[in-house]
Structure 1
Amino acid sequence: MKYKLEWKYKLKGSEGIDFTSDWLNGELALQAGEELEGSGKAVDITFYDEAGTSWTIKEMKKLLAEIEEEPHDITMYFDGGFDKGTNRAGLGAIVYYNQGKKKYRLRANQVVEEMDTNNEAEYAAFYFGLSLLEELGVRQLSCEFKGDSQVVLKQLEGDWPCYEETLNRWLDRIEHKIEQMGLYPKYLPIERKANKEADKLATQALEGKMIHSKMQII
């Protein structure tokens, strides 16, 4: 989750000047708030999260302490590979996240039968990635979703229309799951070369090499 600060800068003989920060991660936002408070020049310091909820400095400290041991700062990569000859799809997903003071990477893949198109495989890969987030217990957080499928990400964002009934069903499933988990999604299309890790997982799934591993990033 990202946060922004709003505060009033005190001036002699004036009601003060209102300021708003950029969106920051929790630790940086709290540090900025504490330094502003310590300067003696800032009053009415308030934090806002991406859902519009407001927090005081005291409440922000308590919030960050509570979520510190939960997965946060989530980025998910996804990719789907489609085999026309067998109508099978290989799904690959990678989740990067922080928990406590440590950073982790979760890698997993899966094979699904009876796929019709590569776009459907991409949707299935996205949904598979969501299931990994659900297993981690991710709730009420902003998440970045990265993939090289413009179709999936642009349709999820609402920028492109979806006319295919099969893909619409995947859209509905994904949107329902995101709402159910209380996520605040950010859809970020990337180039194929930047998605090699997820692509490799999808290919390995079609080859029968199943992977589900978590490691700490040093």
Structure 2
Amino acid sequence: MNVRIEFTYRTPKGTESVFSSEEMPAKKALLLVEDLERTKRMKNLVFIDRHETAWSLKELKKQMEEIKTEPHHVTVYFDGGFDLKTKRSGLGCAIYYEQNDKSFRLRRNALVEELETNNEAEFAALHLALQELEILGVHHLPVTFVGDSQVVINQLQEDWPCYEEALVNWADRIENKMDQLGIDAVFELVPRKQNKEADQLASQALSEVEITSTWEIT
């Protein structure tokens, strides 16, 4: 959860001014406010999230305590592969997250037969990841999605136009699911070699090797 800090600062002689910070992780914002409160010159303090919702100090602390028990600090790696000979697609995703002060990795893949292109498989892999996030209970949080498909990432960021009906339908499904879960998506395009884990999961799916696992990272 990211927020910005807004407050009024008052000098000993009564001069006041309103300050607003840059956006930052809520945990960092709470640490800064804890230090600022020692001056006893701050008032009208609020935290503003990405949806322009205002939180009091008490409300934000309570929210952060609740978040600890739910999956957060989520990063998703996704990849899809399409076999022209068999007309089958392999989907793979690796989800890294924290919960109850521990770190976890979830790996999931799937073999599907109703797709027609590699680009569709890439979109479908991201949609598979969103389904896993929903099962995990991830909601109303920023999530980083990492992939090597320029088509998927540039179209979802609206940097590239989308003309193919099949891809438009996938993009709509993904955006609707993100809206439903309240996810603030951050997309990161990486070279294929930096997306090896998701790529391997997609390849294993095409080889009919099913992977579903969750491990604690120590």
Category of TM-score, reference length = shorter chain: over 0.9
Tell me the secondary structure at the aligned position of residue 153 of structure 2: helix
1:4 Cα deviation (Å)? 1.7
Partner of 1:148: 148
8 Å CA contact retained: 1:37, 1:45:
no
Partner of 2:38: 38
CA–CA distance in 2 between the matches of 1:85 and 1:170?
Answer: 23
1:189 is matched by which residue type in structure 2?
Answer: L
2:74 is matched by which residue type in structure 1?
Answer: I
Tell me the secondary structure at the aligned position of residue 19 of structure 1: strand
8 Å CA contact retained: 1:37, 1:43:
no
Tell me the secondary structure at the aligned position of residue 22 of structure 2: coil
CA–CA distance in 2 between the matches of 1:33 and 1:100?
Answer: 24
CA–CA distance in 2 between the matches of 1:86 and 1:114?
Answer: 11
- Tell me, yes or no, if structure 1 residue 209 matches structure 2 residue 204: no
Partner of 1:117: 117
Tell me the secondary structure at the aligned position of residue 213 of structure 1: strand
After superposition, what is the alpha-carbon deviation per residue over 1:168-198, rounded to whole angstroms, capped at 9, x for unaligned? Answer: 1111111111111121111221221211111
1:10 Cα deviation (Å)? 2.5
1:12 Cα deviation (Å)? 4.1
1:86 Cα deviation (Å)? 0.8
Between 1:29-38 and 1:144-153, the stretch displaced more is 29-38
| Structure 1 runs not aligned, ≥5 long | none
1:14 Cα deviation (Å)? 5.2
After superposition, what is the alpha-carbon deviation per residue over 1:23-67, rounded to whole angstroms, capped at 9, x for unaligned? Answer: 222222212111111232333222111111111111111111122
CA–CA distance in 1 between the matches of 2:22 and 2:104?
Answer: 26
Partner of 1:82: 82
CA–CA distance in 1 between the matches of 2:26 and 2:92?
Answer: 30
1:154 is matched by which residue type in structure 2?
Answer: N
2:80 is matched by which residue type in structure 1?
Answer: G
**TM-score with structure 1 setting the length:** 0.94
Tell me the secondary structure at the aligned position of residue 79 of structure 2: strand
CA–CA distance in 2 between the matches of 1:74 and 1:134?
Answer: 12
What RMSD in Å do the two structures reach over aligned CA positions?
1.5
Report the count of equivalent residues: 218
Partner of 1:9: 9
Tell me the secondary structure at the aligned position of residue 161 of structure 2: coil
CA–CA distance in 1 between the matches of 2:198 and 2:22?
Answer: 31
After superposition, what is the alpha-carbon deviation per residue over 1:79-136, rounded to whole angstroms, capped at 9, x for unaligned? Answer: 0011111111111101111111111111111111032111011011010110110110
Partner of 2:135: 135
